[in-house]
Amino acid sequence: MLRLFAALVLAAIAAVTAFAAEADAAEVNIYSARHYDTDLSLYDRFTEETGIKVNLIEGDSDELIARIEREGRNSPADLLITVDAGRLWRAEEKGLFAPVSSEVLEERIPAHLRHPDGLWFGLSKRARIIIYNKAAGEPDSLTTYADLANPVHKGEICMRSSSNLYNVSLLASIIEHEGAEAAEEWVKGVVANFKRDPQGNDTANVNAVASGECRISLVNTYYVGRMLASDDPAVREAAEKVAIVFPDQEGHGTHVNLSGAGVLKHAPNHDNAVKFIEFLTGDWAQLAFTQMNHEYTAVPGVSGESPVRGTGAFKEDEMNASALGRNQAEAVRIFDRSGWK
């Protein structure tokens, strides 16, 4: 009788333990370099739909990558989300990602916005566009990135630092298309046209163009979209003073960068991490990226609306985003040699 009772107790304990383990497994641990309110609503919606709890750690991309490296096999992280393809490449080079095979992701995400071996997937896009001051009029010869190096624009251009990965990724794409030598000549030409030393972020450079401090700059679309949608009339007014050029519409197309995610090699909740990426490619999540954060959808055909008011469809460069990381080191060397601070 005692043996039977003991066996029943042990069975009950095992059942409770198994249930607790299953309950604990209904979570996903995300390390994210995205710091947008949009994403909080995405996490909440995912939990509502799946019952999987989202545990979030936010930080700078490079800091998160270093943390995952330090944690090694003991890392609780299931998923790394970054805001630049170059940073996905950095994590890839360090061997942090596990390959993912998913019919949903392969069907939803175009090939140029995902790693060829499924190590990471693009979730949303932003285009790197030329802006100019409307009051000063449309500049002559300004339809391509190459035109920014034309001496006709001497003393007209404001830029942010070359250390910014948006600029590094743009130059990496030029290296891929034109070669390193041509890319370096382009950088030297742009530097010769600077109105001032590089400074500020994209928003600051929109304001510099709007105020007439300079005539031309390069920024990401979602900065302009966010300013146009601002509740602050002064912010909206500044954005309305700049016009947009989508470069290279007769050539390779406008450079796009992406926010993306990869499942980590030692992810304790691998399947939940895959489910979360698949969720982010769904129509509701993709529309949230556009409507709440002024990004372009990674999934084609989900939204017919531009996230930047007053603009429509454009031809995008369909170079595989992995090239942006592969050419990153060469891009940095070119910037350094050419005086783009």
Burial 180-194, CB ≥16 within 10 A → b, else e: beebbbbbebbbebb
pLDDT of 11 strictly over 60: no
Answer with the residue of higher pLDDT: 158 or 304.
158
* 114 bridge partner residues: 121
**Of the ranges 12-16, 89-93, 183-187, which is most confident?**
183-187
pLDDT tens digits, residue range 154-175? 999 999 999 888 999 999 999 9
What percentage of residues in the chain have a pLDDT greater than 70? Answer: 93
* pLDDT for the residue numbered 25: 60
Query: Position 299: which residue type?
Result: V
3-state helix vs strand vs coil in the chain, percent to 5: 50, 15, 35
Mean pLDDT of 68-84: 95
Mean pLDDT of the residues in the chain: 90
Domains along the sequence of the chain with CATH: 2-125+258-297 (3.40.190.10), 126-255+321-338 (3.40.190.10)
Burial of 107 from C-beta contacts in 10 A (0-12 / 13-18 / 19+)? exposed
Helix (H, G, I), strand (E, B) or coil at 121: strand
Query: Region 242-256: what's the mean pLDDT?
Result: 96
**What are the tens digits of pLDDT across the range 175-221?**
999 999 999 999 999 999 999 999 999 999 999 999 999 999 999 99
Answer whether residue 304 shows pLDDT above 80: no
Query: How many angstroms separate the CA atoms of 176 and 170, rounded?
Result: 10
Q: What is the mean pLDDT of residues 286-295?
A: 91
Which residue is it, tokens 């304790």?
Answer: 268
